[in-house]
């Protein structure tokens, strides 16, 4: 998955959360990678439950938005 990018606005939000955590926790604050790892773990766990359809709908919506931003339509 090397080279996978997240949208700039989402990255900015993560940076803001990280800055807040740094203020609160100092050197004990989790790194961005830690936050991403937790989010991905929760995503996988949710996918394996009844939330699967809700997640799939969100994924399809996200994919459609990304395609429209790139000017591509299938």
pLDDT one-digit tens code per residue, 48-69: 887 888 899 999 998 898 888 8
Average pLDDT for the chain: 87
pTM of the model: 0.68
21 close to 30: Cβ distance less than 8 angstroms: yes
Cα–Cα distance measured from residue 3 to residue 68, given in angstroms and rounded to the nearest whole number = 21
CA distance 37 to 39: 5
C-alpha 15/C-alpha 53 separation (Å) is 30
**Three-state DSSP class for residue 61:** helix
On the question of pLDDT at 28 being above 80, the answer is yes
Chain centre distance of CA 45: 15
The confidence score (pLDDT) of residue 1 equals 53
């Amino acid at each position: 998955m090397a080279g996978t990018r997240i949208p700039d606005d989402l990255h900015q939000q993560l940076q803001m959360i990280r800055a807040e955590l740094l203020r609160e926790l100092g050197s004990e604050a989790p790194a961005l990678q830690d936050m991403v790892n937790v989010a991905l773990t929760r995503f996988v766990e949710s996918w394996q439950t009844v939330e699967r359809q809700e997640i799939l709908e969100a994924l399809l919506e996200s994919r459609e938005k990304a395609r429209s931003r790139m000017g591509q339509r299938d």
